[in-house]
């Protein structure tokens, strides 16, 4: 970011998140170190934040007694020594502005700064005395403004004991400090100065209890505390009003050293923002937490850290599932060389990629105590695995079919050309088929569908194979018969005469049967006439049906000439088989079969 932007607007005592700033936060995927500063208005908070950003100008300083910063302003800058982290600086509206009508607004600004930051800087002027601690009343109100748990029994003092688990580190900066750092005549550090100021007063009256309350809250809520004291930046009043324009050479050397020490401490010791359970917060998560807090405050309710984390989990964990799923798919596409030789090869790769995906999910998810989201991820990965198994099968099928088409081309052409339509052709066919299968078995990386595709291919040849076998048997028998006829030519003539005699006998039998049927028909006709004369109409009708059936049979028998064609077709078929080579023998065999039918 070139300059700061308003993150939380404070208009008409209503807090509202700036969506443009939220989009900037959402784009930060790295862990964020969030440094927020709060304090009374016109105490120089913005100047210190600009120093942390490495700039003189940025956060508006203002030069009058009016509070200049409204709401909470944000400046995201690269961390100077940790490139894999982002530094998010939050400058808050000055507390105690007399122009405000409702001090409750100050309390919420203070509470948001605590909730969002990993290092919280409280800025004051002159000394840490009783008056300065009284002005820290906002700390004492935190237990009324924030809840740790959503359960009713986790309110008030019970919550305050748990605040230390998620509260940020505390830094108190004292500006324009003019006192000597001495205690009982001995020099002390600025940290010792702070701890001495936080000592509790003895006594049990209400006045002592009220004085001790902010001290107790600071000590209880912020176990890690640090203090910095600063001299005046310059003794020239005209320069103090426009510090952003003051050159480094014009600053007091002591102030420059103190400011550098402050920045160095922040850069070295500020921790990434984390939630309970070690959940590291990035820019996107920080923005979602902020939205949840401001929405709760606007509704008049009290922000609950447990609920905020659960709400964050409901939006972040699905994103973690998607990230893990994407990784699984990318790795499977990268590692799986379709088709795999066996299903187990694919499942082994799935197992490796699934472990990586679950690891990524665990890294980016949180608060999945019931494993709801992890189970959802496993189901998705199972579905993706099935998709890869299906794709693996399709690739194997396609590859094997292509290979079989190439390898069976010689066999297919031989069948088409009638190469196997000769005596002994079935043996030749089986030999060629065996050769094709051996070549197929030698093909590497056919995949899981290799056997299935081969079996389907062989099944498609089953009818052709049966036809070749029958042709082979018929031609072999015919060849033997022809060999026999060559040795005894009269065999062929005798067999033909026998068939012709059979035809003549069959034809005479058929004529005799027709004569008998016509006699029966004539008899039934006379019987029917007699029944009608005697008045037995129903029986006459039954007789009529019998006569119609008999007439149909006689008609069919008279028109049946197939017995006459049978020996003719048989003779023609035999002649074709003798004279024609190759596929012509199949034609001759077909003609003979038609004659037998």
Domain boundaries, the chain: 5-303, 312-404, 408-484, 488-560, 561-597
> With contact defined as beta carbons under 8 Å apart, do 297 and 326 qualify?
no
Residue with tokens 């196997």: 420
Residues 24 and 345: their CA atoms lie apart, in Å, by 45
Task: Name the DSSP class of 40.
Answer: B
86-92 and 279-280 beta bridge pairing: unpaired
Q: What is the pLDDT of residue 504?
A: 60
> With contact defined as beta carbons under 8 Å apart, do 173 and 194 qualify?
no
Give the CA radius of gyration of the chain. 51
Report CA-CA distances (Å) from 21 to 25, 55, 90, 336, 542: 6, 20, 12, 43, 103
The class of domain 5-303 in CATH terms is alpha beta
Residues 353 and 346: their CA atoms lie apart, in Å, by 11
Q: Residue length, the chain?
A: 597
The mean pLDDT values, 10 residues at a time, for the chain of 597 residues are 90 88 94 94 84 84 48 93 94 72 76 94 90 84 83 52 82 92 92 94 88 90 94 79 72 91 96 87 94 92 87 90 97 95 95 96 87 95 97 96 95 92 93 95 94 95 92 85 66 53 60 74 78 81 81 75 46 45 47 46
Q: What is the pLDDT of residue 376?
A: 96
> With contact defined as beta carbons under 8 Å apart, do 195 and 145 qualify?
no
Mean pLDDT rounded to a whole number for the chain: 83
Q: Where does 201-317 show beta strands of DSSP type E?
A: 225-229, 274-275, 279-280
What are the phi and psi torsion angles at 114 (to 5°)? -65, -45
> With contact defined as beta carbons under 8 Å apart, do 346 and 333 qualify?
no
- Regarding the domain delimited by 312-404, which CATH topology (the fold level of the hierarchy) does it fall under? Methane Monooxygenase Hydroxylase; Chain G, domain 1 (1.20.58)
> With contact defined as beta carbons under 8 Å apart, do 332 and 353 qualify?
yes
**Which class for 472: exposed (0-12), middle (13-18), buried (19 or more C-beta within 10 A)?**
buried
169-175 and 119-125 beta bridge pairing: parallel
Q: How far is CA 288 from the centre of its chain?
A: 23
Q: 3-class SS at 8? A: strand
What are the phi and psi torsion angles at 459 (to 5°)? -65, -35
> With contact defined as beta carbons under 8 Å apart, do 302 and 145 qualify?
yes
Residues 392 and 332: their CA atoms lie apart, in Å, by 12
> With contact defined as beta carbons under 8 Å apart, do 575 and 588 qualify?
yes
Residues 391 and 404: their CA atoms lie apart, in Å, by 20
Q: What is the pLDDT of residue 486?
A: 65
> With contact defined as beta carbons under 8 Å apart, do 21 and 73 qualify?
no
Q: What is the pLDDT of residue 495?
A: 52
Contacts of residue 300, defined as CB under 8 A and 6 or more positions apart, other chains included, come to: none
Q: Return the number of other C-beta atoms located less than 10 Å from residue 513's C-beta.
A: 13
- Can you read off the two tokens belonging to residue 382? 């199972």
3-state secondary structure 303-347: CEHHHHHHHHHHHHHHHHHHHHHHHHHHHHHHHCCCCCCCHHHHH
Task: Establish whether domains 5-303 and 312-404 are of one fold.
Answer: no
Contacts of residue 86, defined as CB under 8 A and 6 or more positions apart, other chains included, come to: 28, 30, 31, 32, 33, 76, 77, 78, 79, 283
Q: How far is CA 79 from the centre of its chain?
A: 33
Helix (H), strand (E) at residue 17: strand 14-17
> With contact defined as beta carbons under 8 Å apart, do 141 and 107 qualify?
yes
Residues 248 and 236: their CA atoms lie apart, in Å, by 14
Q: How far is CA 112 from the centre of its chain?
A: 35
Own/partner contacts of 526-535, CB < 8 Å, gap of 24 or more, are none
């Amino acid at each position: 970011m070139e300059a700061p932007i308003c993150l939380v607007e404070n208009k008409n005592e209503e807090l509202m998140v700036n969506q443009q700033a939220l989009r900037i936060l959402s784009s930060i995927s790295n862990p964020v170190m969030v440094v927020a500063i709060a304090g009374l208005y016109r105490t120089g908070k913005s100047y210190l934040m600009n120093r942390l950003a490495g700039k003189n100008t940025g956060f508006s300083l203002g030069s009058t007694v009016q509070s200049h910063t409204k709401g909470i302003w944000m400046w995201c800058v690269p961390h100077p020594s940790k490139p894999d982290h982002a530094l998010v600086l939050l400058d808050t509206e000055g507390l105690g502005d007399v122009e405000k009508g409702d001090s409750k607004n100050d309390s919420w600004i203070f509470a948001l700064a605590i909730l969002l930051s990993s290092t919280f800087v409280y800025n004051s002027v002159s000394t840490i005395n009783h008056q300065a601690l009284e002005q820290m009343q906002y700390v004492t109100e935190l237990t009324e403004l924030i809840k740790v748990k959503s359960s009713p029994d986790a309110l008030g003092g019970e919550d305050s004991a748990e605040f230390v688990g998620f509260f940020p580190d505390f830094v108190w900066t004292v500006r324009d400090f003019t006192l000597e750092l001495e205690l009982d005549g001995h020099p002390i550090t600025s940290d010792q100065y702070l701890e001495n100021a936080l000592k509790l007063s003895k006594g049990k009256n209400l006045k002592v209890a009220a004085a001790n309350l902010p001290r107790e809250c600071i000590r209880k809520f912020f176990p890690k505390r640090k203090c910095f004291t600063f001299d005046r930046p310059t003794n020239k009043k005209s320069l103090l009003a426009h510090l952003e324009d003051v050159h480094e050479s014009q600053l007091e050397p002591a102030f420059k050293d103190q400011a550098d020490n402050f920045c160095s401490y922040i850069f070295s010791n500020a921790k990434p923002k984390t939630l309970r359970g070690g959940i590291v917060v990035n820019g996107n998560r920080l923005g979602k937490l902020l939205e949840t807090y401001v929405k709760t405050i606007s509704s008049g309710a009290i922000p609950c850290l447990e609920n905020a984390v659960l709400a964050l989990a409901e939006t972040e964990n699905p994103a973690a599932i998607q990230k893990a799923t994407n990784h699984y798919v990318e790795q499977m596409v990268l590692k799986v060389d379709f088709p795999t030789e066996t299903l187990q090869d694919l499942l082994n790769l799935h197992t490796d990629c699934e472990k990586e995906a679950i690891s990524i999910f665990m890294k980016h998810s949180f608060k999945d105590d019931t494993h709801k989201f992890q189970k959802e991820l496993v189901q998705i990965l199972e579905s993706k695995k099935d998709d890869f198994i299906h794709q693996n099968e399709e690739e194997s099928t396609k590859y094997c079919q292509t290979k079989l088409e190439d390898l069976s081309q010689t066999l297919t052409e031989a069948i088409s050309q009638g190469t196997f339509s000769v005596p002994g052709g079935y043996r030749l066919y089986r030999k060629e088929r065996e050769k094709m299968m051996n070549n197929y078995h030698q093909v590497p990386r056919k995949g899981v569908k290799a056997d299935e595709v081969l079996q389907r291919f062989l099944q498609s040849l089953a009818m052709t194979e049966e036809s070749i076998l029958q042709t082979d048997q018929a031609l072999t028998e015919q060849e033997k018969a022809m060999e026999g006829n060559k040795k005894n030519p009269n065999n062929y003539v005798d067999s033909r005469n026998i068939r012709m005699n059979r035809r003549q006998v069959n034809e005479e039998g058929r004529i005799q049967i027709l004569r008998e049927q016509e006699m029966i028909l004539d008899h039934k006709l006379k019987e029917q006439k007699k029944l009608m004369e005697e008045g037995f109409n129903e029986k006459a009708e039954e007789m009529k049906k019998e006569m119609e059936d008999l007439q149909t049979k006689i008609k069919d028998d008279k028109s049946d000439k197939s017995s006459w064609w049978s020996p003719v077709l048989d003779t023609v078929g035999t002649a074709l088989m003798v004279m024609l080579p190759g596929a012509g023998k199949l034609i001759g065999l077909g003609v003979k079969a038609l004659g037998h039918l």
